[in-house]
A and B are shown apart, each in its own frame.
Chain A
Amino acid sequence: MLIYKATELVNFAQGDLLMLGAFVAFMAVIWWGLDYWLAFLISVVTVGVFGALLDATVLRKVIGQPQFAVVMLTIGLGAMFRTFASVTWGSEIYTLPTPFGGVWKVGDVTLSHQYISIVVGTLILCGALYAFFNHTRIGIAMQATSQNQLAAYYMGIPVKLIFSLIWAISAGVAAAAGILLAPVTLIDINMGLAVALKAFAAAVLGGFGSIPGALVGGIVIGLIELYAGATLPEGFKDTAPYIVLLIMLAVRPQGLFGTMARKKV
């Protein structure tokens, strides 16, 4: 589970977009009886379009304001999404049936297909995003936009469109992650919040704005959690990643792969 940010927009509603994605897929599979893959596609596209609309209507208005305004705005939006979900789908916990039912046996290790689907899905998503940002015209335009909006605009990049696109991709990725995660965490309205907090820890650990950093950060956070749960006394499982994060931030504030220089006056 990753949050990637090539823009400098920090989205606290990411977890709730993830939750929305999972719910849309659930609705498509259970209520309308669609195929899993079709539901996956529908969910990603719906939430992606929703993200673009969100940008066009709400978030564009705060461009240029301090990062803090965006953070608070997305926190507010996240709360609204949660309420929307609880009113629409109720606060029960749902399960999403998946085609990954089987189990692989590699030696002594039993691997459920569900977990493999998550790992493979994550790898594909990350690879695709990495390639997209570094090797396509639009991806590079997005990087340029995030570095300096005005300069990007002068270079003929349609900044507004790029921003909507970034939000669409970001929301779509969140939805995909939500669907991948759904069989493990089950779907309920608060699934996003818990995941988003850990994801932020991962993103910060890796350094914001670095996709490989986010991947490594996510793996590190996951491993720490796992080992802390297995070896340390109870209660450390949930806090260990944060303790590591605090130490990490105190020692190397910009994260593992982040770059940070001081702002000019």
Chain B
Amino acid sequence: MRFQFKTSYEQDIGLFKDKVDATWYGLLAAVVLILPLMMSDYYVGEATWVFIYAICGVSLMVLVGYTGLVSLGHAAFLGIGAYAHAYFLQQGMPWVVAMALAVAISTASGIVVGLPALRMTGIYLTIATLAFAVIIQEVFSRWESVTKGFAGMPVDKPVIFGVSFQEDASFYYLCLFFLVVVLWLTRNLLRSPTGRAWIAIRDSEIAAQSMGVNLAIYKSIAFAYSAALMGLAGALFAHKIAYLAPDIFNILLSIQFLLLVIVGGLGALHGAVFGAVFVALLPPLIAILRDSIPATFSDVARSTGIGVIGLLGDAIGNFLKKPGVEAGIFGLILVLVILLEPLGMYGRWVKIRVFFSTFPMYKRATFKRQKAYMRSERLR
């Protein structure tokens, strides 16, 4: 086990725990920077999705994982950001201005939702955000002078200060840049008084209030910040998807974002990134399996002479081809994660790390969940 002795204030406020930590992140950065040079355009595009989803994940992580407010309406903020950005670009504004306006509008809508949401708790808030998302989706399809309704709205590739981001690789770097900025900003915010206030609210609203945390202000900030990040992600999303239609921003997308933070691991920024990798890469993985499983199984069947294996491969392939199977697989994974590893992929990673760093002394009980029972919150 590695012990860290802090000898100066700089060490205490540094972004990374120590030099070893910083080296690992440096290596990761190097790999991510070199990656597009070695991959085909298809995989660069998928990696770009990971970055956009990661920004969405950080946005929702701030709200769900750190402030404890569960929102089922984040696709609406994403849509607001995307449509605002596309609209202002169409009006001939420079890219940076359009982006800033998109983020501003998204933030404003976050505050509008956040204000009535201050009085609600738990499931009521979730339903309220859900209602908001349904309304916004209807607005997208009806407000045709701005959004073009179901006819759709094309979005060109970004051109920033005369530099065109036509190629997939250059857009990859753009998204990476924004993700790093967002992560840096959020990480610093989370260890500031604001972030600590959010965590206090998540753990116990009343205790936080008793300690002098202004619930209304900090919940509003959380909502506004989360919506701002979602607006930013929306602007990038618009470029990536290249064609906006109202039915993209539906409830299933919001559920997918929640899935992202849960599978990744609630209450950790790493979780948002892990979850983004998972959510963005699972559909292409299913698509690949769909084609490769019957082929490999039939190869095995031919070489071993057992026909059943080939039939089984065909059955799995056909099953994966059925419509709606993807949602079911997502659902299955969600159920398994909640039952088996409530802390998500990041929680599992922490356990593995602790196992190795304390090698012969690891105890399962370290991470054992406390037994709990439920008591009503609605009785006086």
Point out the residue from A148, A149, A245, A258 that lies within 8 Å of B131, measured CB to CB: A245
- CB-CB nearest 5 A-B residue pairs: A83-B328, A79-B331, A64-B372, A76-B334, A250-B116
Q: Which of B70, B134, B378, B379 has the most CB of A within 10 A?
A: B378
Closest partner residue, chain A, to B379 (CB atom): A147
- Of residues 335 through 350 on chain B, the ones whose CB sits less than 8 Å from some CB of chain A are 335, 338-339, 342
Q: In terms of DSSP, what is the predominant structure of the interface of chain A?
A: helix
Q: In terms of DSSP, what is the predominant structure of the interface of chain B?
A: helix
Query: Does A95 have its Cβ within 8 Å of any Cβ on chain B?
Result: no
Query: Does B197 have its Cβ within 8 Å of any Cβ on chain A?
Result: no
B131 engages A261 (CB within 8 Å): no
Q: In the complex, what's the smallest C-beta–C-beta distance from B102 to chain A, in angstroms?
A: 23
Query: Does A230 have its Cβ within 8 Å of any Cβ on chain B?
Result: no
For A265, the chain B residues whose CB sits under 8 A away are: 204, 206-207, 210
Q: What's the Cα separation between A159 and B159 when bound, in Å?
A: 62
For B329, the chain A residues whose CB sits under 8 A away are: 83
Point out the residue from A64, A72, A91, A204 that lies within 8 Å of B124, measured CB to CB: A204
Q: In the complex, what's the smallest C-beta–C-beta distance from A98 to chain B, in angstroms?
A: 27
- Of residues 353 through 378 on chain B, the ones whose CB sits less than 8 Å from some CB of chain A are 371-378
Point out the residue from B206, B259, B375 that lies within 8 Å of A147, measured CB to CB: B375
For B380, the chain A residues whose CB sits under 8 A away are: 259, 261
B331 engages A75 (CB within 8 Å): yes
For A238, the chain B residues whose CB sits under 8 A away are: 134, 138
Query: Does A128 have its Cβ within 8 Å of any Cβ on chain B?
Result: no
Closest partner residue, chain A, to B122 (CB atom): A67
For B322, the chain A residues whose CB sits under 8 A away are: 83, 86-87
Q: What's the Cα separation between A201 and B141 when bound, in Å?
A: 22
Closest partner residue, chain A, to B377 (CB atom): A263
For B206, the chain A residues whose CB sits under 8 A away are: 262-265
Q: In the complex, what's the smallest C-beta–C-beta distance from A129 to chain B, in angstroms?
A: 19
Q: What's the Cα separation between A82 and B380 when bound, in Å?
A: 39
Point out the residue from B138, B142, B262, B327 that lies within 8 Å of A72, measured CB to CB: B262
Q: What's the Cα separation between A72 and B135 when bound, in Å?
A: 22
For A91, the chain B residues whose CB sits under 8 A away are: 323-324
For B126, the chain A residues whose CB sits under 8 A away are: 71
The digit string for B154-172, where 1 denotes a CB below 8 A from any CB of A, is 0000000000000000000
The digit string for A65-86, where 1 denotes a CB below 8 A from any CB of B, is 1011101110111111011101
Q: Across the A-B interface, how many residue pairs have beta carbons closer than 8 Å?
A: 170
Query: Does B130 have its Cβ within 8 Å of any Cβ on chain A?
Result: yes
- Of residues 215 through 248 on chain A, the ones whose CB sits less than 8 Å from some CB of chain B are 234-235, 238-239, 242-243, 245-246
- Not counting A200-B127, A235-B142, A243-B135, a sample of 17 additional A-B residue pairs whose C-beta atoms are within 8 angstroms of each other reads A63-B373, A65-B342, A69-B338, A71-B126, A77-B331, A78-B331, A83-B328, A83-B329, A147-B376, A149-B374, A197-B251, A239-B138, A242-B135, A246-B116, A246-B128, A254-B124, A265-B204
Q: What's the Cα separation between A31 and B300 when bound, in Å?
A: 38
For A201, the chain B residues whose CB sits under 8 A away are: 127, 131
A242 engages B379 (CB within 8 Å): no
Q: What's the Cα separation between A242 and B328 when bound, in Å?
A: 28
For A76, the chain B residues whose CB sits under 8 A away are: 259, 330-335, 338
For B141, the chain A residues whose CB sits under 8 A away are: 235
Q: What's the Cα separation between A25 and B330 when bound, in Å?
A: 28
For A250, the chain B residues whose CB sits under 8 A away are: 115-116, 119
- Of residues 201 through 251 on chain B, the ones whose CB sits less than 8 Å from some CB of chain A are 204, 206-207, 210, 251
